[in-house]
Amino acid sequence: MPFINIKMTPGPTAAQKAELIRAVTKLVADVLGKNPATTHVVIEDVAAENWGIAGETVAARRQRGA
């Protein structure tokens, strides 16, 4: 029973998230031979000010165009 947790900053639409869930489930089935019926995919939105890369927040990086 695979459990895949995807963390990302907000932005993608509900339709994009649904497609991501479908695609990840299919990938796990194709690559690992796992049953899609028991594959769990969770998407967590993390605010850009709560996510850090290289010592600064994603919000700050986006603000300066990085």
Distance CA 22, CA 4 (A): 12
Q: Which of 2, 10, 12, 36 is catalytic?
A: 2
Does residue 10 carry a catalytic annotation?
no
DSSP 16-55: HHHHHHHHHHHHHHHHH---GGG-EEEEEE--GGG-EETT
Catalytic residues, which ones? Answer: 2
